[in-house]
Structure 1
Amino acid sequence: MSCPGCEVGQGGVTLKVPEEDVEGVLRSLASARAVRWSGASTVSMPPDVFVARATYWQAFFDTSSWRVGLTGPDGADAPDRPFDAFVEELPSVWIDELLARRGIQMAMQPIVDLTKGSVVACEMLVRATAPDGSFVSPHALFEAAREQSRLFALDRACRIEAIAAARRLPADWDVFVNFIPTAIYVPEHCLQSTFAAAERHAVHPSRLVFEVVETERVDDVAHLRAILAFYRAKGVRYALDDFGEGYSDENMLRAISPDVVKLDRQFVDHVDRDPAKRRVAEGLARVAQSLDIRLLAEGVERPEEATALLELGYTWQQGYLYARPSLEVPDGSIAWLPRA
């Protein structure tokens, strides 16, 4: 016989909360799809929306009086049950196991300022291992978290691990930390643990550069701007990752005014030989410089690429040409620098 929690994927979920929690729950569901409120304190949602937020709700609300009901595929309602008991019976997934055994680490890749000839920052890059010790690619890791409704838990764990690793870096290096906007429901709640980790590990917020990844998945720009405003109020800078080609990207750049913008590696590859890629790089440089946004080229692998990009104003660069990501703290040496 299966438990009620095990059947959560087969229908819909109805959540009943006390009146004093309605506003907070409403905010946490603002970016979710197919959410329907009935009455003042009852909300129905798809199962994956519920599962994705269950851990968050338990962390920031007193859920002892909350109730959960299920609607089956045939439209019939099951009797509602206490929220905490229901969540406890939800089936475990391998992302849960990975986080429980602390199976993620942070590799560090230096970012170089070519005008100074020195390392000025490191990007923290997640590395994960399966129980058998095999490598799990970052793409596979986050796609699994998305499919298993665990983006909130994984994204939070990665941010905390990145800051913990950053304590080993030189104090004058910036620290680039990736985050997924759709995994942050209410900034002042979801980011508490991030800033607590920064305080615990003595990593000053002014060193942090939070990097918006998966920009193409951001439909709610207002929500993203609220997150970034919270970061900036805490003294943190932010970067826009993987800037590409097109009007929508330029709109995003103007809408959120990042401190740093990264040129997507696909436009870095052989930019010295490909006129179309050079036009994209030039276009980004022109807009970014007009908005006083720092340019950063990632994925630089050849001296010719580096030189061409430097001429366009990409003084900050990152890639195998300078150093590969490593679990060990970079020693600050740079494999290549332009001739004086």
Structure 2
Amino acid sequence: MNGNLWNGIELFPLYQRIVRLTQSSTDFAYEATIRGKAASGKYLLPSVLFRQAQGKQMLLDYKARHIAIREAASFIKDSLLFLNCHALSLQAGFIFEDVTKLELPIQQLVLEITEQTRIDNVESLKQELTALRELGMKVALDDFGAGFSNFWLVEALEPDYIKLDRSITANVDLSDQARRVIEGMVAFADKVKIQLIAEGIERETQRDILLELGVTYGQGFFLGHPFALPKTQQL
């Protein structure tokens, strides 16, 4: 993506429900992801939007969180809002300008750290997370089981939630091996006192087996498709 394409891009968030599997009609939380619309009318996925130099990635990451919070304030009520965070932004302390001016209380925010980005300086992440946690924010480790996932990262960052990558949950209703992997993750999460969220639930049978295996929360098309709100924001 060249620099000119940034001019006039319309940014808007999509929101997807995260539910407690025993109470799937009630919203526990929403995850926000960013999308863009170019002046040509073409829609831009995050994989395209973030195809930038590191500085621009961090700026987009920062803007996306603030747009998602502002627009979610109209419907989120008492639910939590999960916000994606690039590891570079966290290491640089480039998360929020002023938490006292956010449209939602920081206690309702959960920062998702993706494992698909290599984390080179864990100590700086821990320092930033400690400061945000002291204000009441929670932390989730996203895409667990894909990319650069490591159990040592769970120990280092002590997340409140682990989001199991869809590659782990995809065959849980079709494969005994997949079931055993989930069983092991449930036992691990219980031992370290972390809540599991299974991503990519697309079938009722997946939901039922995950519930049977002891997974508390879920997200996926079967539970609710991503949706957009009318408002947009110019980049």
TM-score, normalisation: structure 1:
0.62
Contact 2:109 2:138 in 1 (8 A): yes
Query: Sequence identity of aligned pairs in percent?
Result: 32
Gaps of 5+ in 1: 1-91, 330-340
Report Cα offsets for 1:15-35 as digits up to 9, x if no partner: xxxxxxxxxxxxxxxxxxxxx
Q: Which has the larger radius of gyration?
A: 1
Cα distance in 2 between the residues matched to 1:218 and 1:95: 29
Q: Are 1:320 and 2:215 counterparts?
A: no
Give the match for residue 135 of structure 1.
43
Gaps of 5+ in 2: 231-235
Matched AA of 1:171 = K
Judged with a 3 Å threshold, the aligned counterparts in structure 2 of structure 1 residues 290 and 150 are, in CA distance, closer, same or farther, namely same
Contact 1:240 1:258 in 2 (8 A): yes
Residue 235 of structure 1: which of 113, 120, 136 is its match?
136
Cα distance in 1 between the residues matched to 2:72 and 2:59: 20
Higher relative CO (CA 8 A, sep ≥ 6), structure 1 or 2?
A: 2
Q: Are 1:152 and 2:58 counterparts?
A: yes
Contact 1:180 1:214 in 2 (8 A): no
Structure 1 residue 194, shift from structure 2 partner: 5.8
SS in structure 2 opposite 1:184? helix
Out of 218-227 and 159-168, give the one that drifted further: 218-227
How many pairs align? 228
Judged with a 3 Å threshold, the aligned counterparts in structure 2 of structure 1 residues 300 and 194 are, in CA distance, closer, same or farther, namely farther
Contact 1:95 1:150 in 2 (8 A): no
1:110-129 pair list within 5 angstroms: 110-117=17-24, 118-129=26-37
Structure 1 residue 114, shift from structure 2 partner: 2.0
Matched AA of 1:193 = E
Contact 1:177 1:211 in 2 (8 A): yes
Judged with a 3 Å threshold, the aligned counterparts in structure 2 of structure 1 residues 125 and 104 are, in CA distance, closer, same or farther, namely same
Give the match for residue 173 of structure 2.
272
Contact 1:107 1:326 in 2 (8 A): yes
Out of 123-132 and 147-156, give the one that drifted further: 147-156
Q: Are 1:175 and 2:58 counterparts?
A: no
SS in structure 2 opposite 1:115? helix
Structure 1 segments (4+ residues) deviating >4 Å: 245-248
Out of 234-243 and 273-282, give the one that drifted further: 273-282
Judged with a 3 Å threshold, the aligned counterparts in structure 2 of structure 1 residues 148 and 133 are, in CA distance, closer, same or farther, namely farther
Cα distance in 2 between the residues matched to 1:136 and 1:166: 21
RMSD: 2.2
Report Cα offsets for 1:71-104 as digits up to 9, x if no partner: xxxxxxxxxxxxxxxxxxxxx814642xxx4621
